[in-house]
């Protein structure tokens, strides 16, 4: 059956499909909720990603499987066992189509706003809900997010494994020849924890490295992640020395806890600033965007708490002419980022090429990556198939917590603060 015919025939049958909708129905938590799909979440399973043993929670790549009574299974990525478990035990029986509502319920439920770890798990679960909805409706997730706004996402790269990395010049040229938009380097002094980091020496060495790279690949074709490695004045010395070398962006010149410091940074240098790799929710970055203290955001999936949250941030970025260059996390999150960036409108969007690794528990073509670009994947949902027999099963949740967690509703049925 051709998709075109499907859409044409769907119109004819639509009255019949919707005729069975009941409007309001009782949910397991005792609330009334608006029926959207007549699907229910029945089971949530969580798997460890084999071969991945980094202990970084904000880079975690466990796989969530959300099963519905209709047989549709959605997948998400991120979180930890504890975080996923708490979230999963609040949504058995819920209608998976009510993504934003469920998100609010998980975010505001339990009273204390999630920190970055729980938000990571929440983001993994929300990702799986989008996958379910896309699969149920037979469309890619980007079509549920406004439709495609671009054909592909440009990527940047540090240093591909299969390229000549004997010198910075050769690596940079190899990256550009491979079709990447930008060759990204890091500061000097980062490879050996045994060797003390000497700021003054590394300021000089890093500036020298930038000159070599800029000469090799040209202005605008390179970027540097200072990786929060320097103090304010050292970082400003580097920024001012490399400004004329035309970096695409300079990432994390200083640490990320104190956002107000960027008011100072912004007055001291004109280099394009990228910040946010370490951020969690929307309120970590909104003031940086709204005051245009940065040029590119680096927050990512599932760290923001999910696709909807990322989309909300994209609205702010577009409003304030800020670009989006999400940090690389797990392979499924990269697939999800393509759906979000591919349906959003900030002028400059780019992805960090480092997450484009193939794993055998996902289908080999989960990402349509060609010549340094990630093309939109038109398969339903996130477009990724998960083979659970190749992952390590951890938990399955099939009933809600008995703990009467605190949350309130507004008279109109929406989630309210406790």
Residues between 26 and 45 with contacts to another protein, criterion CB under 8 A: 32-39
Nearer to another protein, 35 or 232 (CB): 35
Task: Look at strands 152-157 and 296-297 and give their pairing.
Answer: unpaired
Going by C-beta distance under 8 Å and a sequence separation of 6 or more, which residues neighbour residue 312?
282
The DSSP letter of residue 140 is: B
Nearer to another protein, 286 or 401 (CB): 286
Give the count of beta carbons closer than 10 Å to the beta carbon of residue 52.
Answer: 14
Question: Does 66 interact with another protein (rule: CB under 8 A)?
Answer: no
- Name the phi and psi angles at 315, rounded to 5: -60, -45
What is the Cα 36 distance to its own chain's centre?
26
Question: Does 402 interact with another protein (rule: CB under 8 A)?
Answer: no
Nearer to another protein, 211 or 292 (CB): 292
Interaction with another protein in 95-124: which residues (CB under 8 A)?
A: 95, 97-102, 104
Question: Does 13 interact with another protein (rule: CB under 8 A)?
Answer: yes
Q: How far is the CB of 412 from another protein (least distance, A)?
A: 4
Provide the strand spans (E) within 85-158.
152-157
Question: Does 166 interact with another protein (rule: CB under 8 A)?
Answer: no
Interaction with another protein in 304-333: which residues (CB under 8 A)?
A: 308, 311-312, 315-316, 318-319
Q: How far is the CB of 365 from another protein (least distance, A)?
A: 12
Question: Does 2 interact with another protein (rule: CB under 8 A)?
Answer: yes
The DSSP letter of residue 327 is: P
Give the angle subtended at the CA of 344 by the CAs of 341 and 346, to the nearest 5°. Answer: 95
Q: Is the peptide bond before 173 cis (omega within 30 degrees of 0)?
A: no
Give the C-alpha separation, 76 to 65, whole Å. 7
Nearer to another protein, 81 or 347 (CB): 347
Question: Does 157 interact with another protein (rule: CB under 8 A)?
Answer: no
Q: Which residues pair with 66 in a beta bridge?
A: 44, 74
Q: Which one of 112-120, 211-219, 265-273, 338-346 is the stretch in contact with another protein (CB under 8 A)?
A: 338-346
CA distance readout (Å), 77 to 9, 137, 218, 305: 35, 21, 37, 11
Nearer to another protein, 108 or 173 (CB): 108
Question: Does 148 interact with another protein (rule: CB under 8 A)?
Answer: yes
- Site size with another protein, rule: CB under 8 A: 90
Question: Does 339 interact with another protein (rule: CB under 8 A)?
Answer: no
Among 51, 364, 404, 411, binds another protein (CB under 8 A): 411
Interaction with another protein in 273-302: which residues (CB under 8 A)?
A: 282-283, 286, 290
Number of alpha carbons in the 13 Å side-chain half-sphere of residue 49 = 26
Q: How far is the CB of 23 from another protein (least distance, A)?
A: 7
Question: Is the Cβ–Cβ distance between 416 and 74 less than 8 Å?
Answer: no
Interaction with another protein in 168-197: which residues (CB under 8 A)?
A: none
């Amino acid at each position: 059956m051709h998709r075109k015919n499907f859409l044409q025939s769907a119109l004819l049958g639509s009255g019949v499909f919707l005729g069975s909708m009941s409007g309001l129905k009782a949910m397991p938590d005792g609330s009334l909720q608006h029926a959207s799909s007549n699907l229910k979440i029945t089971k949530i399973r969580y798997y460890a990603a084999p071969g991945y043993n980094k202990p970084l929670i904000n880079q975690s790549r466990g796989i969530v499987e959300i099963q519905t009574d209709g047989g549709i299974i959605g997948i998400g990525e991120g979180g930890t066992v504890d975080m996923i478990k708490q979230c999963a035990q609040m949504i058995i029986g819920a209608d998976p189509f009510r993504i934003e509502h469920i998100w609010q319920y998980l975010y505001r439920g339990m009273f204390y706003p999630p920190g970055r770890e729980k938000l990571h798990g929440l983001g993994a679960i929300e990702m799986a809900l989008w996958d379910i909805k896309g699969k149920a409706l037979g469309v890619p997730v980007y079509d549920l997010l406004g439709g495609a706004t671009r054909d592909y996402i440009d990527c940047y790269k540090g240093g591909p494994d299969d390229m000549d990395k004997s010198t910075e010049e050769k690596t940079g040229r190899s990256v550009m020849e491979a079709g990447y938009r930008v060759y990204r380097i890091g500061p000097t002094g980062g490879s050996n924890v045994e060797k003390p980091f000497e700021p003054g020496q590394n300021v000089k060495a890093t500036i020298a490295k930038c000159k070599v790279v800029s000469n090799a690949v040209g202005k605008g074709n390179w970027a540097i992640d200072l990786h929060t490695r320097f103090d304010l004045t050292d970082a400003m010395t580097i920024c001012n020395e490399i400004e004329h070398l035309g970096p695409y962006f300079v990432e994390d010149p200083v640490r990320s806890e104190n956002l107000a410091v960027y008011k100072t940074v912004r007055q001291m240098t004109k280099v394009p600033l990228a910040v946010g790799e370490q951020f969690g929710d929307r309120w970590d970055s909104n003031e940086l965007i709204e005051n245009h203290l940065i040029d590119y955001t680096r927050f990512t999936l599932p760290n923001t708490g999910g696709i909807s949250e990322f989309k909300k941030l994209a609205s702010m970025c577009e409003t304030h002419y800020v670009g989006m260059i999400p940090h690389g996390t797990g392979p499924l999150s990269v697939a999800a980022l393509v759906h979000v960036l591919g349906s959003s409108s900030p002028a400059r969007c780019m992805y960090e090429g480092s997450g484009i690794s193939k794993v055998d528990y996902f289908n080999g073509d989960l990402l349509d990556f060609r010549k340094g670009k990630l093309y939109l994947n038109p398969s339903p949902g996130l477009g990724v198939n998960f083979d659970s027999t190749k992952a390590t099963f951890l938990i399955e949740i099939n009933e809600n917590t008995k703990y009467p967690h605190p949350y309130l509703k507004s008279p109109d049925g929406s989630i309210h603060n406790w």
